[in-house]
Structure 1
Amino acid sequence: MKINKIIYLLIASFMLVFTACDPIVDEAHLSDSTDVAGVQLVATQSPPGGNKITLKMASPGITGYWDYNLGTALTNEVTVVYPIPGKSTFTYVGSLGSQFFTKKIDVQVDRLDTPLDQDWYDLVGKNTATGKTWVFDNQGAGSLWWFMSPPGSADGAMTAWWNAGDCCPPSDANGKMHFDLNGAANYNHYETLTSPAEKGSFVLDPTNKKLIIKDSKMLGYAAGNKDGVYTIVTLTETKLVLYLSNNEANGTGWTFVFRPQ
């Protein structure tokens, strides 16, 4: 009798072990709540025609984010004070459930009636369509305008490890760069004051103190980075100081000091 009980216990134990080893299969399948045509994008301007724009993805069951050209918002609804007059296209990137999609909406901005962050006016000037030109703030021998600085943090941006501008200036030391908002965030790099422009675009992020140059070069690019992302140390009407925490040329920090032309 005891032997039978032991045998039953062993059999039960083996059954539990083998049952525990069976894989758990999730039979749930993703399905689309709608199609791309059914995704409703809404843009509201306050006041109508103005540059304060609320972008909303109004369809239920959809998740994603907005790309509003000068940044992204990881939400279905975002309000931006847009700095560029004219027609602009904004993009929503989302998931229907089983597939990703992008959908665009056009918005016509007739006037900049909501003031921009002051950084925009400091960078591109009060006449945002005309824009503003910047050059190196070279005040002569010993001045700091393009120099190696400590890596890792903008706190040491104005500490010069090596004043490279004094002995070994960049090829575009006498060049210029121009920012404007004439229909887009336009950026032009000039190797010299009279050379043709290398056209690109830019993103100004006042909140995170970043200036991003796209499809062109920052003035002083010999010590820049290919990604074009610079930390803003100072931005006023009369001075622009940018910093890299780890420049590609030598792995140190680097600081760029500009003034309006």
Structure 2
Amino acid sequence: MKIHNIKYLLIAAFMLVFSACDPIVDEQQLTNSTDVAGVNLTASHSTPGGNKVTLKMDTPGVTGYWDYNLGKSLTNETTIVYPIPGKSTFTFIGTLGGEFFTKTIDVQIDQLDTRLDQDWYDLVSENTSAGKTWVFDGAAGTGAMFWFMSPPDNPDSAMSAWWNAGDCCPPLDVSGKMHFDLNGAANYNHYQTTAAAAEKGSFVLDPTNKKLIIQNSKILGYEAGNTANEYNIITLTEDKLVLYVPRSLKDPTTGWTFVFKPQ
């Protein structure tokens, strides 16, 4: 009997020792400061119906960022010059404290009374609703450099041709075109040939970072594009557009350069 008692005492002692070694965890769960209905989004125009708009989320305890369709602003309040007339929906993505949420606000823009960055007019023309059509600046067999292999990962070397592919081996859509406009949205159309039906998509122009992104369609010369459909803007003027990809689908070890002119 004594042996059994000693055995139980030893087991109890071991249990106490091991339980004393367990870490003390202070479990704190994040909780919401409000609900989605309590998040207040506002939009104010610099002039009535104008296209300079301040978007604001002013609910305490909530943080996040704005997605205004053509870009993102990583703050609760941002002022944008929006290039598209009509009703647009902007989205705030944030956290209530314990969970993430999205909430939208509709904004009606009746007039483009604040001028856009010049890149917008160069890309889509001053008549932003009608838009603008671009084609390759050259033809095969002429020696023109309009679609060529260039050094990788270096936009500064975009015009240094490693192989003038367009002269001997032009892209499948060499006789095609692409059209940009802001008629109710940032509309983009790719045409395999000038007579082909449009492959409709959209685009994002980022003048600050010199980027052009094609969505749900493809760039003219797409064989040498990239999977993200994101292009560095090397030149954008009224009569010339030069785009560059650091790594091309044509050859992933090289870059590629595309040169366009208005139709």
Normalising by structure 2, we get a TM-score of 0.91
Query: Hey, what's the Cα distance between the residues in 1 that align with 2:21 and 2:235?
Result: 62
Alignment of 1:123-142 (within 5 A): 123-138=123-138, 141-142=142-143
Task: Quote how far apart the aligned CAs of 1:19 are.
Answer: 9.4
Tell me which moved more, 72-81 or 26-35: 26-35
Corresponding position: 1:145 with 2:146: yes
Root-mean-square deviation over aligned CA pairs:
1.4
Quick one: which amino acid aligns to residue 230 of structure 1? Y
User: How many residue pairs are counted as aligned between the two chains?
Assistant: 245
Task: Quote how far apart the aligned CAs of 1:29 are.
Answer: 1.6
Quick one: which amino acid aligns to residue 76 of structure 2? N
Q: Is the 8 A contact 2:149 2:164 kept in 1?
A: yes
Task: Give 1:254's aligned residue.
Answer: 256
Tell me which moved more, 135-144 or 41-50: 135-144
Task: Give 2:212's aligned residue.
Answer: 211
Moved over 6 A (4+): 17-20
Q: Secondary structure at the match of 2:152?
A: coil
Distance 1:20 1:115, change over 3 A: farther
Query: Hey, what's the Cα distance between the residues in 1 that align with 2:109 and 2:137?
Result: 35
Quick one: which amino acid aligns to residue 197 of structure 1? A
Q: Deviations over 1:184-216 (max 9, x none)?
A: 000000000010000000000000000000000
Q: Is the 8 A contact 2:223 2:249 kept in 1?
A: no
Corresponding position: 1:168 with 2:169: yes
Quick one: which amino acid aligns to residue 230 of structure 2? V
Question: Which structure 1 residue ranges, 5 or more long, are not aligned?
Answer: 1-16
Quick one: which amino acid aligns to residue 215 of structure 1? N
Normalising by structure 1, we get a TM-score of 0.91
Alignment of 1:203-242 (within 5 A): 203-242=204-243
Query: Hey, what's the Cα distance between the residues in 2 that align with 1:45 and 1:192?
Result: 42
Alignment of 1:77-116 (within 5 A): 77-116=77-116
Query: Hey, what's the Cα distance between the residues in 2 that align with 1:127 and 1:39?
Result: 38
Corresponding position: 1:75 with 2:75: yes
Quick one: which amino acid aligns to residue 34 of structure 1? T
Q: Deviations over 1:61-107 (max 9, x none)?
A: 00111000000111100100000000000000111111111100000
Question: Which structure 2 residue ranges, 5 or more long, are not aligned?
Answer: 1-16
Distance 1:21 1:206, change over 3 A: farther
